[in-house]
Amino acid sequence: MTEVRVPTLGESVTEATVATWFKKPGDSVAVDEMLCELETDKVTVEVPSPVAGTLADIVAAEGETVGVDALLANISAGDEAPKGKAADTGKEAPKSVDAGAEEMKPRDPADDVDVMVPTLGESVTEATVSTWFKQVGDTVAQDEMLCELETDKVSVEVPAPAAGTLTKILAEEGSTVEANGKLAVISGGEGAGAAAPAKQSAAAPAAESKGGKDVEDAPSAKKAMAENNISRDAVTGTGRDGRVMKEDVARAIAAGTSAASAPEAKSAPRAPSSADDAAREERVKMTRLRQTIARRLKESQNTAAMLTTYNEVDMTAVMDLRNEYKVLFEKKHGVKLGFMSFFTKACCHALNEVPDVNAEIDGTDVVYKNYVHMGIAVGTPTGLVVPVVRNADAMSFAEIEKTINTLGVKARDGKLSMADMQGGTFTISNGGVYGSLMSSPILNPPQSGILGMHKIQDRAMVVNGEIVVRPMMYLALSYDHRIVDGKGAVTFLVRVKEALEDPRRLLMDL
């Protein structure tokens, strides 16, 4: 018997939620075939089969929160099949006429299959059951989505590990489930009818009318659409089988697809009163993602001696260079020339001169990084994520732009892996895309520095004794004063400014 355990998920991640099982007990699996999907704070992790054989049992059901190296399932080698179970059904498992052949008998279709919380990754030990898409008595197909869990930073879909009838729901919506916890029970195949005959007969016509495949939108998405008066046709679903998820609704709202408010609300406004205020208030529990963001930002403020220094940069040279070569650049490299490659290059140049900003504190030691893994903060409908451009100091402008573009698409679609967000040594945050003129970014621990970019705005500047209009941008460097002195921080920011105002300095390493 080979154990399937939770893989190492990355720095500071100690737990994960089992989102989906793609196999059920009794199924044959090949080496490296995907068994299940875990969700950590920010990413989805696929768990492959370590050996070929038969999935004997599932220890951690969908929705369960599991710790690092926790047992997920067991695989029997070769043709060895799992032993059948009849737990929680109230009836005994079918007995073989030939007792000597009992162990080699494949799983009976009527055996119950537990739906367990999937492995979620390091530091993630629990999850919240957000939505059930099936009810007790409903017929389910293998891999059909049963429910949705919420961990610190991501939503995890839990698929059915086997076809059958959902006979029990053990974790209701809103409940918190631990790693390896049991979510529900599915009675397989022909035995399903005995488990819940009345509800199965009622659910069967509905299943047939849908063509045998449930593509119901996530209840959280339905609620969001109803609250914001958004038509289902105005939202593009990115979930399994085109289901609309709550992130899709958030994107539709951001794109301005919200429908007009109800006429009644416009024509009959209420007079303000405390009772009316209470009636119009809505209390919504923070998502795990938002809770994690809040906790970590506060931890950063409490731990680091954070200080911010500011400067401004004349973007004329960068904009002229970009306008001159952007068509040729895109034609040759297949990607647009943006500002991020210039800022990334300028920061790598400055970090080389002021290595303290690229270091981190580990206890009583200072760890200096002789490389630059550049974190690029990206806002998504579900929250802030920071994918990492690895070895950015050794990349060309084209390589940086291609990598940032790829990571941006993955972040938007919620497909960033744990590896995409690990190991950053410095971060760039561009609040200018949202119109921010000035801000003080918060450090991304354990990093010691973060650069804040802002809106480019024409301002009157004195150049060579004359007042001229120039495209200016404020820059902000937040740094950990425990390791970076004021002189080093100012020097870093000045070097970034100089490289952007005269990009030729990057070519000459000046």
| 8 Å CB contact between 114 and 58 | yes
Contacts of residue 418, defined as CB under 8 A and 6 or more positions apart, other chains included, come to 9, 10, 13, 40, 42, 43, 45, 121
Q: Which helix (H) or strand (E) covers residue 110, if one does?
A: none
503's tokens: 């990009």
Count of C-beta atoms within a 10 Å radius of residue 467:
8
- As given in the structure block, the two tokens for residue 408 are 């941006």
Q: What share of the chain is helix, strand, coil (3-state, %, to 5)?
A: 30, 30, 40
Spatial contact of 447 and 391, defined as CB atoms under 8 Å apart: no
- Round to whole Å and give the CA distance between 510 and 499: 8
| Catalytically active residues, by annotation | 481, 485
Residue 263 DSSP one-character state: H
Q: Are 160 and 143 in contact (CB under 8 A)?
A: yes
Q: Quick one: tokens of 400? A: 């940086």
Report the distance separating Cα 216 and Cα 199, nearest Å. Answer: 19
Report the distance separating Cα 192 and Cα 139, nearest Å: 8
DSSP 289: H
φ/ψ region of 175 (left if φ > 0, alpha if ψ in -120 to 50, else beta) reads beta
Do residues 90 and 146 touch, judged by C-beta distance below 8 A? Answer: no
Distance separating alpha carbons of residues 98 and 334, to the nearest angstrom = 67
CA angle 174, 207, 147 (to 5 degrees): 20
- C-alpha 58/C-alpha 107 separation (Å) is 13
196 close to 135: Cβ distance less than 8 angstroms: no
User: Rounded to an integer, what distance in angstroms lies between the CA atom of residue 307 and that of residue 481?
Assistant: 6
Query: Which amino acid does the sequence have at 188?
Result: G
Radius of gyration of the chain from its Cα atoms, rounded to whole angstroms: 27
Report the amino acid identity of residue 272: P
Q: Cβ atoms within 10 A of the Cβ of 141, count? A: 14
Nearest to 484, CA basis, from 287, 350, 298? 350
Rounded to whole angstroms, the Cα distance separating 434 from 431 reads: 6
Q: Helices 340-353 and 486-501 meet at what angle, rounded to 10?
A: 140
With CA atoms as reference, report the closest residue to 429 among 444, 407, 412, 445.
Answer: 444
